Amino acid sequence: LPLGYASKLAEMDKIQFQQLLQKRKIPLFSYEIEDFELDLKNLRDLGRL
């Protein structure tokens, strides 16, 4: 769910909504191990690792 849409559903502006998420220790982004592994592969393929 995009941040802007979620903040509208919560009837808050984006900054207030981000602060609420931070207070509740809810990450803004989901970065899974598969994403990390793909990033590593891409960096290796580019010769940056």
Residue-level pLDDT at 29: 85
Residue-level pLDDT at 31: 85
- Consecutive H or E run containing 33: helix 33-45
pTM value surpassing 0.85: no
6 compared with 1, residue with greater pLDDT: 6
CA distances to 24, 36, 44 from 27, rounded to whole Å, are 9, 16, 28
Interval 13-29: pLDDT, tens? 999 999 999 999 999 88
